[in-house]
Amino acid sequence: MKRVAVYCGSASPEDPRYLALASDVGRTLAERGIGVVYGGGRLGLMGAVAGGALAAGGEVIGVIPEALVGSEVAHHGCTELRVVSGMHERKRAFTDLSDGFLTIPGGVGTMDELWEAVSWAQLGYHAKPVGLLNAFGFYDHLLAFNRHMIEVGFIRPAHAGIIIAEHELDLLLARMAAHEPHTPIFAMKAHDL
């Protein structure tokens, strides 16, 4: 993986472990020679990922909609800051520019990005690894719900392994690098669905 899209919160939780984690993730990616593509913000975990990567000499590409530049949350220290017209163009850029998706703790915007990466993998719009860093067990409930969707039958067996979840970043990156694409819905016949 040359670049990963990192999805994470724009808020700063009181618990200092979250910002420290984000900064570590940025630094580790830079040390591995993996570029960061992200939402281009300077606040919260987003800013910490970018700051950690930039401080370690890494490449950071921010992709931010015009409306957010106006609200002064853009990180102007990025290697490259792409200003796009809106969220659809931004998401397209995340997918086009990256070789995988890495979600670390975050809120609603992060969930939107994670689930789009999962849904587009199921459909076949991309065949890139979708990693979830379950640091501090933050995503235990999400993973339990994902298992529930599999058990009930809303996630097909062929797609049960799309989310690659680990508690620890090194292991997660290794699994993402070794990822084998799943059979997408585009390649299935109606009777298999």
- Could you list the residues that contact ligand AMP (CB under 6 A)? 7-11, 39-41, 43, 46, 64, 68, 73, 106-110, 113
Query: Are 40 and 64 spatial neighbours (Cβ–Cβ below 8 Å)?
Result: yes
Plot region of 44 (φ>0 → left; ψ -120 to 50 → alpha; else → beta): left
Q: Which is nearer to ligand AMP, 8 or 25 (CB)?
A: 8
* Cβ at position 6, least distance to ligand AMP in Å: 8
Nearest to 165, CA basis, from 135, 127, 122: 135
* Cβ at position 68, least distance to ligand AMP in Å: 5
In angstroms, the CA 146 to CA 35 distance is 29
* Cβ at position 36, least distance to ligand AMP in Å: 11
Q: Which is nearer to ligand AMP, 18 or 172 (CB)?
A: 18
* Cβ at position 144, least distance to ligand AMP in Å: 20
Q: Which is nearer to ligand AMP, 44 or 159 (CB)?
A: 44
Q: Which is nearer to ligand AMP, 7 or 34 (CB)?
A: 7
Nearest to 29, CA basis, from 48, 10, 13, 9: 48
Q: Which is nearer to ligand AMP, 22 or 164 (CB)?
A: 22
* Cβ at position 177, least distance to ligand AMP in Å: 22
List, as one string, the DSSP characters of 92-159. Answer: HHHHHH-S-EEE-S--HHHHHHHHHHHHHHHHTS----EEEE-GGGTTHHHHHHHHHHHHHTSS-GGG
Count other Cβ atoms within 10 Å, centred on residue 138: 18
Residue nearest to ligand AMP (CB): 109
